Every structure is written in C-alpha cells, then in structure tokens.
Structure 1
Amino acid sequence: MNLQQFYYFEAIARKKNYTKAAEELSTTQSCLSHSIADLEKELSLSLFYRKGKNIEITEFGLSFLDHVQKIIYELEGIKQDQQQTLAPFSDILKISFTANMSHEYIPNIIRAFQKTGNNQNIQFLFSEMLATKKAIEDLKNDVLDIAFGAKIENPDIDYFHIFDEELFLIVSSESAYAKQKSFHLEDIQKETLITYNYNCGTRYFIDKLFRSHNVAPASLIEVETEKMIASAVSSGLGIGMIPPISGLEQYNVKLLPLDQLTVKRPLYMMWKSEEYPRPAVKNFISFIKHLS
C-alpha cells in the first residue's frame, strides 16, 4: 500500500471511470487497473464493481475512501507548508472592499502589511465591492481571496469584525428635513426610503434596525449602491440611510444624524472557509486579526 495508490483510488472513486481518472492523473488505464488490483489484493476486499460501462464503489470502498481523503488532505496541507517555507512571501491577493474603505483603511493596512516581515513581494489586485452576495460567490469560486464589507451569513464563508461605520439619514436639500439638525426615526414611517437591495449586507442591518424600533417606511425603492441612493434622494424620490461617502457634495443632499440615536453598521473581513488556505491568504488574515 502506497500514496500513489491512494491518489489513484480517490480519482477513480470520484470519476467512476478508469479512462477519465487516467486522463486526469496523466497515466494509463492499465497502470490504474494493476495498481487498484494490487491494493484490493492487499486489503483482501473489493473496492469497486462494474455497473454497465461505468464502475461503482463498494460499501467497503466508501469507508476506505473516507480515510483516504483525510490522508490526501493532510498531504496537501504538508505540501502547502512546504511551499510556504520555500516561497512564503510571493503571491497575488485578490481583495474587494466598499468604496469608503479605499481612502484610508485599505491603503493603510496594505502598507503596514507589506512592511511586516518579508511581505513586500506580495502583490494585490483590488476591486470595489458593489454587492455582498456577489463578493461571497466570488470568494466561494476563488475569484476573490478576501472581501471587506457588510455581512450576509453564508456557511461557506468565515467572518471577522473589523470596525463599525456610522450611518446617517440623507435627505434632499430642498426638503423640509434639510432645515432640521437631526432626524426622528419615527418620521421614516411617512416617507419613501431609498435603500439597498438584498444583495447588500447593509440592507439586512437596516431592516433589523427598523424592526427593533417597531418602525417601517411608507414605501421602498431598492438600488445597488450609496451613490445611487444619493442620486435618487437628490431627485426628490425619497430619503435614504448611508455612511458618509466621498463625492457627496456633487449631489443636492444633506446628511442628518438620527435624533438621540447613533446607528453604526458592523463591517467584516470575509474569506472562504477552507482547511488549507494559501500561505499568503493565511498570513494576511492573521495580520488583520492582530491589528484589531
């Protein structure tokens, strides 16, 4: 029994076809057949049986597969540790973040990270997070390594709270509210709220806020981003609730704090749950956690 046989067995169990497994492993079907036959002889049990043109795994094979997968996962972890030893600080990290984080938070943490240890050789690819749901899918599909923004729960994603960001009411400069120093949350019940759609984690936070105070807007208009909210509010379509954003001065709007209530949305670092993240990803996550 050897490691090569374990890799052969796992590929055949997954593909349920010797030819396809041989193609994936860059070997011959004959080599696979002889290797599995030797393994079955050593175990004194059958691992597969034929079903038409394909093969199926036996009950013992399923039990054996569970152990083999654990061994392979451990081996892959050892390989990654070895890669980290040989070239731990050479990688490209793909990260996404909300627009507000692009001014100070992200540049500051990247600069600090690259000054730590030998991380100066790690490069970054940046993108703006327009929707949390899209970022989560990109994390799951390895399009992204790390995302920063509002949270939407997903069992395949790990989260780490980084800081809270205050939200304000945004009203048209032409509205009666613009003459006020603050906004009473109860007044939301008389207004159309321009708000995020459910692709954005902040929408869930705002819904929870309203439920906790037993209020609800008279009607809703859903959009994707803060700038779209500001544009709609500027046009007199309703009011909104957003963090202060750069470029807000180009809109005909005013930000108002809530009367006797400070509202802060929690923001998170997010990454794909996996047993063996790439060394650079693991190092960056640890660095952010250490900063907090």
Structure 2
Amino acid sequence: MNLYHLRYFVTLAKLEHYTKAAEELCITQPSLSHAISLLEKELGVTLFQKEGRNIALTKCGKIFLERVQESLKILDDSILELKSISNGEGYIDLGFLRTLGTNFVPKLTKNYIESNKDKKINFNFFTETTTSDLIKSLKEQKYDMIFCSKCEKEKNIEFIPVSTQKLVLIVPSDHPLSEYDSVTLEQTIEYPQIVFSQKSGLRSIIDNLFDTIGKKPIIAYEIEEDQVIAGLVSNNFGIAIVPYMPILKFMNVKTIDISSPTWERNFYLALLKDKTLTPIAENFKSFVIDNYTL
C-alpha cells in the first residue's frame, strides 16, 4: 500500500472535492483519481460516493479514514522523534548504584543538561543496590549505560573510571570511638559491626582489609544497602565501614577516617561494547569522559 495514496485519501476526505484536493496536494486531478482508484481496488471497497458536485465518504471510507489518520499520526510522530534523536535530543536510560544518587549522578546529569540548553534532554533514572544487578540489567539492555563498580570478569563491558569514594568508619555519636577523628582497622575489632551482605561487591573488599590485619570483625548484622547500615548505626545497632556519603553529615553518627589500611573505591561508567548508542547517549558518554574521567 502506497503511503502517498493514504495521504491523498486523507486530504480528499477532508476537502470532499477532487479539484481542490489535487491543488492542495500539488498533483493533477487525474493522478489523484488514479491513486484513489488503485487504493479502492486494493481494499476491495468503495471509499467515496458522489454527492452533487462534491464527493463524500462511504461507510467503509469513514472507517478507513479513522484508522489511516491514527496510523499516519503514529508514523509522523515517530519520524519527528527520530529526527529529534538524530539531533542529540531525547532521553537516556541511566542506571546507577544508590550510593551515587545523593550527589554524583544528580550533579553530573544537571551539568550535562545545562551544557546543552538548546536541546530537549531527559533522563530516566534507575537505581540498584549492587553492581551485579546493574550489570545484569545492562546486559538485558534495560539501560543505555550504568555507573557502578568494576567487574573484571565482564569482558564485553567497557568500564571508564569516573569517580572515587573512600571507605570510612561510622559509629554512634556517643560511641567510645567517637572521640577519634582517625582510627586503624584494628581498633574496631572489639565492637560489633554491621557489614554488607555477601551480595554486595563491597563485602569482599572489606573482608580483604580485615584479612590484611589478620583479624575478623564481630558481625552483628548483614545488610545490603549502605544507607540502611548508616541508619542502624545511628540507632546504636553497631559500628560499620561504609563508603563516604554526603548524607552522613545529617545523621546521628560520627564519621571517622581509617588510617590503616587505607582504600579508595573507584566508580565507573559502564557500557556494552557491542551496543550502538543513540546520538544523545553517545554525546553523554563523551561529556562524562571529557569532564569526569580519573
């Protein structure tokens, strides 16, 4: 079915006059008559009937007009959307660890939008608790890209370092360690600790830090989310080693540097190596690389 013939049909249905419709379409009247005749032959129904000097839609024509207008609107809207996308506009499906949602991701995306004020840019934000969950969703192409920790075994994913986050000790405000601004890991051993669950990528990292001093923490609770851990610490359920988060400033906890052993956590922009990005996603990737890579 010829797309032009469908547009001719809609114009003729609107004007109900072959000569006027042909003039508006900038084609000859015989060409219009031929196009409508071919359309009726293909459909096997009569679309127009004469009414004096004008024409009018038949019952079949009215039914067909409604469906054609719906279809052409969908088609035209899609064309406009793709033209917008090709111009670097549209939306980005962005996944990230919750710990990056309080400061890093909001600031970065705001800066990107402000640097492209002439374009219509939107983000769909999605948070996950662990890097493994983010990577799983990235592979399923739920996200265009993610911000997460690095997973060495993922050879088909490109990891671009963009930010660091140090580990700190948090204790209740009235805890014996709260008088210190800096402690060694060994000083935490005698106190019950709230640790990350085995599902978290941080668990093995923190376990390895304790292995380096040949000690094991007293585990009171195992929790998946760092903000939940901080909430428990603020209510005297134990102490914890967590990534530094700005939200800690507003909680009833004391944040203490760990002088030995020291460790910093790197965060990465991660993308599938074999996936073609939309122009807006490609532009955002370049913006991150130009302004945020370590």
Instruction: Normalising by structure 2, report the TM-score.
Output: 0.61
Moved more, 101-110 or 222-231: 101-110
Quote the residue 1:186 is aligned against: 186
CA distance in 2 between counterparts of 1:86 and 1:147 reads: 20
CA contact (8 A) 1:188 1:216 kept: no
- Cα distance, 1:122 vs structure 2: 3.0
Q: Does 2:203 align with 1:203?
A: yes
Quote the residue 1:109 is aligned against: 108
| Structure 2 residues not aligned, in runs of 5+ | 1-81
CA contact (8 A) 1:100 1:246 kept: no
| Structure 1 residues not aligned, in runs of 5+ | 1-82
Quote the residue 2:138 is aligned against: 139
Matches within 5 A, 1:97-246: 97-116=96-115, 120-153=119-152, 154-219=154-219, 221-246=221-246
CA contact (8 A) 1:93 1:145 kept: yes
Question: Aligned AA for 1:234?
Answer: S
CA contact (8 A) 1:94 1:126 kept: yes
- Cα distance, 1:228 vs structure 2: 1.4
Deviations 1:71-108 (A, max 9, x none): xxxxxxxxxxxx79982413321112344534443233
In structure 2, relative to structure 1, the CA distance for the partners of 1:271 and 1:119 (3 Å cut) is farther
Deviations 1:40-61 (A, max 9, x none): xxxxxxxxxxxxxxxxxxxxxx
Matches within 5 A, 1:9-158: 87-116=86-115, 120-153=119-152, 154-158=154-158
- Cα distance, 1:171 vs structure 2: 1.1
CA distance in 2 between counterparts of 1:265 and 1:162 reads: 11
In structure 2, relative to structure 1, the CA distance for the partners of 1:152 and 1:188 (3 Å cut) is farther
Root-mean-square deviation over aligned CA pairs: 2.9
Find the residue that maps to 1:259 and give its secondary structure.
strand
CA distance in 1 between counterparts of 2:285 and 2:213 reads: 36
In structure 2, relative to structure 1, the CA distance for the partners of 1:152 and 1:200 (3 Å cut) is farther
CA contact (8 A) 1:132 1:199 kept: no
Matched residues, number: 210
CA distance in 2 between counterparts of 1:214 and 1:266 reads: 25
Identity %: 24
In structure 2, relative to structure 1, the CA distance for the partners of 1:285 and 1:204 (3 Å cut) is farther
Moved more, 122-131 or 247-256: 247-256
Question: Aligned AA for 1:288?
Answer: V
CA distance in 2 between counterparts of 1:276 and 1:138 reads: 16
CA contact (8 A) 2:85 2:279 kept: no
Question: Aligned AA for 1:283?
Answer: N
Instruction: Normalising by structure 1, report the TM-score.
Output: 0.61
Quote the residue 2:25 is aligned against: none
Deviations 1:210-262 (A, max 9, x none): 33444331336321112211122234332111233344366442111123554
